[in-house]
Structure 1
Amino acid sequence: MAIDDASHRIIADLLASRTGQQLTENRRWRVSTALSGLFREIGIENVDQLACMLERPGEYRLATRVVEALLNNETYFFRDHVYFNTLANTVLPELAEKRASSRKLTIWSAGCSTGQEVLSLAMLFAEQAGRWQDWTIEIVGTDISGKAIEQAQSGVYSQFEIQRGISVAQMLNFFSEAQGGWKVCDKIKAMTRFERQNILDFPPKPGRFDLVLCRNVLLYFAPETRRSAFDKLASGLASDGLLMLGAGETVVGQTDRFEPSGHGSALYCPKIGQATARKSIESILRPAAATG
């Protein structure tokens, strides 16, 4: 194996071990570009030199910086408008009926990057203030990138980031000028919470969500890792909740924890599989067996 291939294997193994993501051949081209800024900072020129440094003991911090640089944090406000239209006009009204007694909704954005998806959801609720009056809305965003979560928690976005997906009216209603760009207003921020977390870990609190968004994240996982991710997403979703995936993602042939919901190609609902049914039967039979 040539040193170039060996170097890329070291980088790929690091990314997989830290995040579960695969650095497949069709993503290999972007490695040097993604790491170019880091190369300049530490005074090296290529992946081979970086791989040698990573092989030295005690380079955990450098390894973390490499992983952060390789993560795809591409996002913007109201990304894929048709999805947000479906949420605003179909999904959220349906959930409102289901949760009318508690008047509480919890939403999890898994792989939220720098927070634009979470804030877009919060703006949907703010723009329908009459419908959601006296409701408790909690939107939790998680991402494995510490750098991305730091920005999400700050709520500050550059002029370029603001202009990607937000109208002038939304900018003026929900953001104010701040040092370094535009800062999200308090009424939007109050609905949100951001945490650094791997999607392969346990779901964040409250642990059972009415709606989970995991868009354009699972594309980068190997099949076995993807199945594990689906298991975690299922464990974090209410039995009558909904999962939204990205346009290029599906549960079909990937997991037995979900099935199409009937709300469009991107939305799925929990599926009661044979294992769950078997546990239910066992729980019914157990008392009778105990008395025998």
Structure 2
Amino acid sequence: MSALATLLEKRTGQRLAANRSWRIETELKPVMRALGLETLEDLVAAYDADPRGKLGDQIVDALLNQETSFFRDGAVLDMVADAAMAMAVEHAGRRIKVWSAGCANGQEPLSLAMLFAERARQQGLAEPEILATDVSDAAISRARAGRFSQFEIQRGLPVRRMIEWFEADGPTWTARPDLVRRIVFRRHNLVGDVPPVGRFDIVLCRNVLLYLSADQRQQVFDAFARVVRPGGLLVLGAGETVIGQSEAFVPSARYRGLYEPAPGVRLGLREEFA
């Protein structure tokens, strides 16, 4: 089991806590079944025989915690939408840019796209641009397809929005193309890759950092500090904080529970993302 946990950490930076080691066998059973393997030792041997093959990706994708839902912590997303619209008014003529980091199967950026479209329509403003990234190729592919099971679609998604933005397709629901087109989906490793090109008004990275080591969290905070605009916001999960972990951000006085760049933090300037 330790070899598989090490593979996950090496590829993504995410650590599997000792009290969560039971997840290894549980999550990898479908992979072993598909390959006709009986034990985790057989799976490790198969990976060792072809470490550059696709099996490593399958193992990592299975072990990643992609738990999410539409409008998860809805009050936070409403606050993000309020902030984005306020920024659009304050910076008239400049398109507001939002990065959803660690977007899993796409429910967070799709929720944001719905909120932004509704608020922008009501207020006569341009919708913010959304970049959504995840370390998993499989997750990004699913997010781009916008296909969700009945169970997934009912978790947090109001019926009104479900009817407006999704189409029934047998046992699944598919996001309408005009919703998916509002988002740029890309694969990105928060630990191993340089930050996406561009500067962002709002960065969301919820329930990802808690799986990283202290050094890796510091690395990610530093990366965010290079791309968040002055006056911008960083949004973390309910159990995450910058306090005691990074001097690059401080609690926002205007948006409770969110963070903003600390005064004097020098941001790295890069070209806007395409």
Q: TM-score, normalised by structure 1?
A: 0.84
2:18 is matched with: 25
Counterparts of 1:76 and 1:106 in 2: how far apart (Å)? 22
CA displacement, residues 221-265 of structure 1 (integer Å, 9 cap, x when unaligned): 011111111111222211221000000000011111111112455
Counterparts of 2:138 and 2:115 in 1: how far apart (Å)? 26
Return 71-80 or 46-55, whichever deviates more: 46-55
1:148 is matched with: 139
Secondary structure at 2:111's aligned position in 1? helix
Off by >6 Å, runs of 4+ in structure 1: none
Deviation at 1:271, TM superposition (A): 1.4
Counterparts of 2:142 and 2:25 in 1: how far apart (Å)? 24
Contact kept in structure 1, 2:120 and 2:127, CA below 8 Å: no
* 1:166 and 2:148 matched: no
Secondary structure at 1:160's aligned position in 2? helix
2:270 is matched with: none
Cα RMSD between the aligned structures? Answer: 2.0
* 1:13 and 2:30 matched: no
Query: Which of these two proteins has the greater Rg computed from alpha carbons?
Result: 1
Contact kept in structure 2, 1:246 and 1:266, CA below 8 Å: no
Deviation at 1:56, TM superposition (A): 2.7
1:283 is matched with: none
> How do residues 9-88 of structure 1 correspond to structure 2 at under 5 angstroms?
9-88=2-81
Q: TM-score, normalised by structure 2?
A: 0.90
Counterparts of 1:78 and 1:193 in 2: how far apart (Å)? 19
CA displacement, residues 72-93 of structure 1 (integer Å, 9 cap, x when unaligned): 111110001221232234x234
Instruction: Identify the structure with bigger relative contact order (alpha carbons < 8 Å, sequence gap 6+).
Output: 2
Aligned residue among 80, 84, 88 for 1:96: 88
Counterparts of 1:187 and 1:59 in 2: how far apart (Å)? 37
Aligned residue among 219, 222, 230 for 2:221: 230
Contact kept in structure 1, 2:85 and 2:125, CA below 8 Å: no
Contact kept in structure 1, 2:102 and 2:205, CA below 8 Å: yes
Return 53-62 or 209-218, whichever deviates more: 53-62
Contact kept in structure 1, 2:5 and 2:16, CA below 8 Å: yes
Counterparts of 1:116 and 1:82 in 2: how far apart (Å)? 15
Counterparts of 2:81 and 2:7 in 1: how far apart (Å)? 39
CA displacement, residues 97-141 of structure 1 (integer Å, 9 cap, x when unaligned): 332242x11100000011110010011122224345351521110
1:107 is matched with: 98
* Structure-2 change in CA distance of 1:145 and 1:272 (3 Å): same
Counterparts of 2:7 and 2:230 in 1: how far apart (Å)? 36
The letter of the residue matching 2:201 is: D
Counterparts of 1:25 and 1:10 in 2: how far apart (Å)? 13
> How do residues 135-214 of structure 1 correspond to structure 2 at under 5 angstroms?
135-178=126-169, 181-200=172-191, 201-205=193-197, 207-214=198-205
The letter of the residue matching 2:162 is: M
Higher relative helix content: 1
Counterparts of 1:273 and 1:60 in 2: how far apart (Å)? 46
The letter of the residue matching 2:36 is: G
Report % sequence identity.
43
| Unaligned residue ranges in structure 2 (runs of 5+) | 268-274
| Unaligned residue ranges in structure 1 (runs of 5+) | 1-7, 278-292
2:108 is matched with: 117
Deviation at 1:190, TM superposition (A): 2.8
Secondary structure at 1:60's aligned position in 2? coil
Counterparts of 1:218 and 1:265 in 2: how far apart (Å)? 20
Secondary structure at 1:130's aligned position in 2? helix
* Structure-2 change in CA distance of 1:179 and 1:265 (3 Å): same
CA displacement, residues 146-187 of structure 1 (integer Å, 9 cap, x when unaligned): 111111111222222111111111111111223552222233
The letter of the residue matching 2:5 is: A
Deviation at 1:58, TM superposition (A): 4.3
